[in-house]
Chains A and B, each alone.
Chain A
Amino acid sequence: MPLIDMPEFAGDLLEEFETRRTVRVNTPVIQPAEPFLDMAGEDLRRRIFLTESETGASLCLRPEFTIPVCLRHIETATGTPKRYSYLGEVFRQRREGSHEFYQAGIEDLGETDVASADARAIADAAGILSRLLPGRALTLTLGDQAVFEAVVKALGLPLGWQKRLIQAFGDMAHLEALLERLARPQPVAGLNSEIADLVTSGSEDELVARIDRTMQETGYSTNASRSPTEIARRLKEKLTLAETKLDGSALLLLREFLTLRLPLSEASAALAGFADAAGLKLGSAIAQFDARLAALSNIGVDLSSMTYRAAFGRPLDYYTGLVFEVTEAEASAVLAGGGRFDRLLTLLGATDHIPAVGFSLWLDRIEMARASR
């Protein structure tokens, strides 16, 4: 690795990683592009540097470390728990800033004590940043997808609607559009009367047979991805979901929840109060939220300096619970971002369920923050 252009605080970082008992790993700069596009979605395509191998395989310059570190973990099959750290260059097409810059971070894989692992990730990120930016006011914002999921579930919405809302969590515009649909249900359009009759008469077999027949006739069956049964069931579900209406008070509750933003030390009481006032049972999600706070307090983290924001999430399906980011107070540039991604390793091909939490540090922004003092 070319040490010459590394940030001058790289030594401090490596020292921190060692004290925090991590194993430093490196991954190739040139990576297969598929896993990134598969996990993060096509939106990433315009932000990464894509190329092709001679045999036509799609490759990219490493745009981040989490996926390569997880893939490496799966390949080397060295068992869990593992605490990995990394420090190296990543490559992204950005409007501002350089296209190649350093990132460092910790990925904590396979720790089953979720609350402690979450707390440690937060404490590690905050601790390292306060060493690199001594005396600076840093703001840590925390969100929890599991709490949102519990609220949505407690409102008694059908599963299909729960999925839609959870899928959109973290994307406020999309979420608002969904809430609008829940407030004013629209009838399903575009269905011909023969099919509509089959759906309402309730004979799924007939509907499936009808779809299958058309598929055969049109030569679509051979390579069809969605089966007649899948289409028939979703059609039925869609008609049910289209009639779902969330009454004004429930919508108000959901909106009220999404506006919650307060010091982490007050979050527990506020969530309990919200659940009480709303008559919602948030059960284990709150218990886990509280356990995380207790674990944070145990290792000496000051909760009053951190913020809980109920609407904070990332709209990607591998994030599961905790998300957090650190900025300088009054600034918007994210210096560290992290979260829990319990679904990622199985999506990447791990055979066992491996809980995972981690964070990455944007070293170029940290460097700028250090220079601006």
Chain B
Amino acid sequence: MKTLTLALPSKGRIKEDTAAIFARAGLTILAIGNDRSYRGRIDGMDGVEIAYLSASEIARELASGAVDFGVTGEDLVREGMAGVDEKVEFCARLGFGQADVVVAVPEIWLDVETMADLGDVAADFRARHGRRLAIATKYWRLTQQFFSRQHGIQLYRIVESLGATEGAPAAGQADIIVDITSTGSTLKANHLKILSDGVILKSQACLVRARKAEHDADPRVEQIVRAVRSVTGGTDD
């Protein structure tokens, strides 16, 4: 049988939390070679390989089908590919790495509390300021889906921001942001507020499977999913 590859986060809290969940699920991960190796295997399960990758690489490898399973944030998976539900299955939500992808505007925009308010402001923006409303984000796909398709807002521009996005409005790089937040404290420190209907996605770490035909006949796939679900109590919702 073909080797199954599980891509797991290579560092940080999310790596430890993943290892803990897998251990509780009876899938003990053993390092191949030494402790700092980026390859591993599951104790007692043949033909299953662990690849340690960065969280965003895991999303990409799932999109291309280069790995069979991955543990990474739902935000990265949904941002990383079009037609996500056709390409992957969210098998289990793991209960850590919680963070929301949100629309946040300057606190002082007293007139903007909802997406509808933002729609009004965006519609007038060009006439008032000679340019479109600018949104700083690294989530251009999620932003575009949320603004254009869910809220009928077409007239805005995305300014790609790869870090310190919360600072963009004060620095004049953008007017508002779409970013990830867990406690909201960084937003608050930068005098930004989340719109009342501005939560695009409630993300957390997930066990994600790349949809492949050969998985149907592979008992190990079912075994891994069932083991992880048994300790998370979660299914795909």
Cβ contacts A to B, 13 pairs, < 8 Å:
A40-B154, A41-B156, A42-B154, A45-B140, A163-B120, A164-B119, A173-B152, A188-B113, A223-B170, A232-B110, A234-B111, A238-B111, A317-B126
Question: Is the C-beta of A171 less than 8 angstroms from some C-beta in chain B?
Answer: yes
Q: Beta-carbon contacts of A203-218 to B below 8 Å, as 1s and 0s?
A: 0000000010011001
Bound CA–CA A136/B132 (angstroms): 43
Binds B, one of A63-71, A98-106, A118-126, A189-197: A189-197
CB pair A191–B110 under 8 Å, yes or no, is yes
Candidates A38, A181, A235; contact of B110 at CB < 8 Å: A235
Question: Is the C-beta of A263 less than 8 angstroms from some C-beta in chain B?
Answer: no
Bound CA–CA A234/B118 (angstroms): 11
Given contacts A45-B140, A164-B120, A218-B107, contact A225 B129 (CB under 8 A): yes
- Contact residues of A between 163 and 205, Cβ < 8 Å to B: 163-164, 167-168, 171, 173-174, 177, 181, 188-191, 195
Q: Number of A residues contacting the other chain (C-beta, 8 Å)?
A: 44
CB pair A42–B144 under 8 Å, yes or no, is yes
Chain A interface SS verdict (over half) = helix
Question: Is the C-beta of B157 less than 8 angstroms from some C-beta in chain A?
Answer: yes
Q: Beta-carbon contacts of B69-94 to A below 8 Å, as 1s and 0s?
A: 00000000000001000000000000
- Contact residues of B between 106 and 125, Cβ < 8 Å to A: 106-111, 113, 116-117, 119-121, 123-124
Candidates B121, B148, B157, B191; contact of A38 at CB < 8 Å: B157
Determine which residue in B106, B143, B169 has the highest number of CB atoms from chain A within 10 A of its CB, and name it. B106
Distance (Å) between the CB of A53 and the closest chain B CB?
16
CB pair B170–A220 under 8 Å, yes or no, is yes
CB pair A231–B123 under 8 Å, yes or no, is no
Distance (Å) between the CB of B144 and the closest chain A CB?
5
- Classify chain B's interface size: 35 or more
Bound CA–CA A225/B121 (angstroms): 12
Which residues of chain B are within 8 angstroms of A37 by Cβ–Cβ distance?
157
CB pair A226–B121 under 8 Å, yes or no, is yes
CB pair B120–A160 under 8 Å, yes or no, is yes
- Contact residues of A between 2 and 41, Cβ < 8 Å to B: 37-38, 40-41
CB pair B169–A220 under 8 Å, yes or no, is yes
CB pair A41–B148 under 8 Å, yes or no, is yes
Bound CA–CA A234/B152 (angstroms): 20
Question: Is the C-beta of A46 less than 8 angstroms from some C-beta in chain B?
Answer: yes
Closest to A160 in B: B120
Distance (Å) between the CB of A220 and the closest chain B CB?
6
CB pair A41–B110 under 8 Å, yes or no, is no
CB pair A238–B117 under 8 Å, yes or no, is yes
